[in-house]
Chains A and B, each alone.
Chain A
Amino acid sequence: MSTTRERATGDLYDQLVLEDRVHRRIYTDQDIFTEEMTKVFGACWVYVGHASELSGANAFMTGTLGGRPIIITRDAGGDIHVLLNRCLHRGATVCRVERGRAKRFVCPYHGWSYANDGSLTGVPWPSGYAPEFDPAKYSLGRARVAVYRDFIFATLHPSPPAIEDHLGAARPLLDYWIDRFPGGKVTARSGAHRMDCQSNWKLVMDNSTDGYHPAFSHRALLQMAQRLGETKDMAYFAESPDDGDMYCRYLGNGHSFIDQRPNYRKPGDYWATQRPTPGREAIEARIRAQYGEEEATRLLDLTVGSQMNLSIFPNLLIIGNQIQSLRPVAVDRTILLWQATTSEELPEELNTLRMRTQEDFPSFGEPDDLANFGECQRGLSIPEVEWVLMNRGYGIEGRQSLDPDGGVTAPTTDETPMRGYIHHWKALMQSDTPVVAEGVA
């Protein structure tokens, strides 16, 4: 546990985060976790959901913001609000279901009622309150909200940067991923693969652009994929991944990237190397017959993931066709959501095929990663072995290159993205941005 003295001197994080390694305590210390929920998950722009999940006026869903229960609402006028799910009276949550449609939320405990923009609209038997108590001045706590191309971000930072500035160099990559969908419009399906990961959230972040692990952590998947005698998606991670044109990149602001796209050179390559999917041949035959060779190839490529892993600090991971997000629950527990995506403009049967594609990795890839994350957490419980090494590619002359925009590009298996984001994390942990909920009188 960190001591008061270390905290007072402010050098705790200088001791725990070095150039090429981090101390195990950043993954295991309860006090650090508590602090992160304010300094990182309170003060950063955090992904909380996709606007396509809130279809129509007065739709809502619940979620979390650094462990705080929240309600994400769309009001009658279409504006999106992120509200703290906590009655002002005595603290009960006012919304207890995962999604639905409501103009107002009435607290089940004593009946205070709130409009779906958060404002307190009524308290039962108001004559019991002194005249100075004016309900019109109150609302549920509100986070600040930014919606970037339907991605909903929320923060308790009192004066956050523009979301475009926060996204920084990750923004054109996110744009690329969104623009791959016909019409540049993504539909996120609400029924997400949810996983209960027995590790600190940063072990998942460390992995998000870790090009070193697939050959080993996903060896069962790679074996499975060779069952029918062909080389499939991701096989290049097992064969000298640093020699090809793939790369990893630290993008700044905590964001990072692995680009697998250079492994796919011509139209049809994505489709050709996709692992077998239920209905693949049936639907391919129909699409080719209906659309002609060139258009069919373009459409079929769109059923396959984008071959980019984009990690947007602190909790949004764009992987393949999916939107993955992290919800820290405890120092050693994180909920992972893998939202599947469809496109309104793709032929229906291709969206169906996309569902089958997006079941592949959550079924046969992620379970093995989760096992490893959980076992890392167990290993990190050993106090005597203090350091976690992130030094792959570190200190080798000419191995990584500085990008004009300040990012760093390195061979795929390097731990450059990890070193980048963890230093960003450290800076946040050393800052003292106050976090506040608006609207609470």
Chain B
Amino acid sequence: MAAELNDPSRYSTYVDPEFYAALARHTAELDEPAAPVDAATRDACAALLYREARLLDEGRLEDWLELFVPECLYWMPMTPGGGEPTTEVTLAFDDRRRLEDRIAWLRSAYIWSQIPRSRTRRSITNIEVVQAQAPGELLVRSNFVVHDVRPGYHATFPGWTAHRLRAEGDSWLIAIKQVNLLDSDQAHQNLSIIF
């Protein structure tokens, strides 16, 4: 049982008060001055973001999930820029298990909010990469526009993303993906896609 509890796909043991405290530090760190990275690291980060965008646009959600560390967070705050997730609801606060749930939901043949399926295409710009305070981690800011098109429906979602990347061997994995919709606190018709 104890070993099983360590499986973040089945049990959520890591989203504890320390995790929320670390998340608050993550949000604060985004606004603090930090050392830039070399061009090669910056290019590697941009390539990761572009690859991530392509996997999502092509609906390769399981491959997309492999870009994340096991104890990851996919977070879409409702309060612009972050807010206080310990006392506020969010548009998404997915640990690994809920992210797998989300993919299972999206894979269902009976998900009426996604029938017909969205065709998405996203543009990513203004990529800024800095060293995070934790060794072996980077903070990446980028802007995005996501087009979500279904027959008779076209939504455009502008916003910005903060990725916290963690070194894993000689590549980078996503520890936190924080998606900030510009109108995160306003009403939307359909937010069923992954951003």
Q: B-contacting residues of A (Cβ < 8 Å)?
A: 189, 191-198, 217, 219-221, 223-224, 227-228, 276-283, 285-286, 335-336, 340, 342, 348-349, 351-352, 355-356, 358-359, 362-364, 367-368, 370-372, 375
**Chain B proximity of A368: nearest CB distance (Å):** 4
Q: Are B98 and A227 in contact (CB under 8 A)?
A: no
Query: Quick one: given A223-B104, A227-B104, A368-B111, are A191 and B5 in contact (CB under 8 Å)?
Result: no
Docked pose: A192 CA to B78 CA in angstroms: 8
Q: Are A355 and B87 in contact (CB under 8 A)?
A: yes
Docked pose: A364 CA to B111 CA in angstroms: 9
Q: Are B89 and A193 in contact (CB under 8 A)?
A: yes
**What count of chain B residues pass the 8 Å CB interface test?**
46
Please indicate the chain B residues that have their CB under 8 angstroms from the CB of A375 in the complex. Answer: 112
Q: Can you name 6 A-B pairs with beta carbons within 8 Å?
A: A224-B104, A276-B97, A352-B20, A355-B87, A355-B93, A364-B102
Q: Are B101 and A276 in contact (CB under 8 A)?
A: yes
Please indicate the chain A residues that have their CB under 8 angstroms from the CB of B88 in the complex. Answer: 189, 191, 340, 355
Q: Are A279 and B90 in contact (CB under 8 A)?
A: no
Q: Are B187 and A196 in contact (CB under 8 A)?
A: yes
The 4 closest A-B pairs by CB, nearest first: A279-B15, A220-B108, A367-B113, A194-B187
Q: Are A195 and B108 in contact (CB under 8 A)?
A: no
**Chain B proximity of A320: nearest CB distance (Å):** 12
Known: A355-B86, A358-B89. 4 other contacts (CB 8 A): A227-B100, A277-B98, A359-B90, A371-B112
Docked pose: A359 CA to B92 CA in angstroms: 7
Query: Quick one: given A278-B93, A281-B5, A359-B93, are A368 and B87 in contact (CB under 8 Å)?
Result: no
Docked pose: A217 CA to B108 CA in angstroms: 12
Is B169 part of the contact surface with A, judged by Cβ < 8 Å?
A: no
Docked pose: A279 CA to B18 CA in angstroms: 11
Q: Which of B128-148 contact A (CB under 8 A)?
A: none
Q: In chain B, what residue has the closest Cβ to A374? A: B189
0/1 string, B1-36, CB within 8 A of A gives 1:
000010000111111110110000000000000000
Please indicate the chain A residues that have their CB under 8 angstroms from the CB of B5 in the complex. Answer: 281
**Chain B proximity of A352: nearest CB distance (Å):** 4
The count of A-to-B residue pairs whose CB atoms sit within 8 angstroms is 132
With beta carbons under 8 angstroms apart, the residue of A191, A192, A282, A335 that contacts B15 is A282
Q: Are B95 and A194 in contact (CB under 8 A)?
A: no
Q: Are B16 and A276 in contact (CB under 8 A)?
A: no
Is B192 part of the contact surface with A, judged by Cβ < 8 Å?
A: yes
Docked pose: A180 CA to B186 CA in angstroms: 30
Q: Are B12 and A196 in contact (CB under 8 A)?
A: no
**Chain A proximity of B26: nearest CB distance (Å):** 16
Q: Are A279 and B86 in contact (CB under 8 A)?
A: no
Q: Are A227 and B86 in contact (CB under 8 A)?
A: no
0/1 string, B79-110, CB within 8 A of A gives 1:
10001011111111111011011101100101
Q: Are A191 and B101 in contact (CB under 8 A)?
A: no
Please indicate the chain A residues that have their CB under 8 angstroms from the CB of B16 in the complex. Answer: 279, 282-283, 286, 349
Is B190 part of the contact surface with A, judged by Cβ < 8 Å?
A: yes
Query: Quick one: given A193-B78, A198-B189, A349-B17, are A220 and B12 in contact (CB under 8 Å)?
Result: no
Please indicate the chain A residues that have their CB under 8 angstroms from the CB of B58 in the complex. Answer: none
With beta carbons under 8 angstroms apart, the residue of B17, B78, B112 that contacts A191 is B78
With beta carbons under 8 angstroms apart, the residue of B14, B90, B101, B112 that contacts A368 is B112
0/1 string, B113-137, CB within 8 A of A gives 1:
1010000000000000000000000
Q: In chain B, what residue has the closest Cβ to A219? A: B110
Please indicate the chain A residues that have their CB under 8 angstroms from the CB of B90 in the complex. Answer: 355, 359
Is B191 part of the contact surface with A, judged by Cβ < 8 Å?
A: yes
Docked pose: A352 CA to B91 CA in angstroms: 15
Please indicate the chain B residues that have their CB under 8 angstroms from the CB of A336 in the complex. Answer: 187
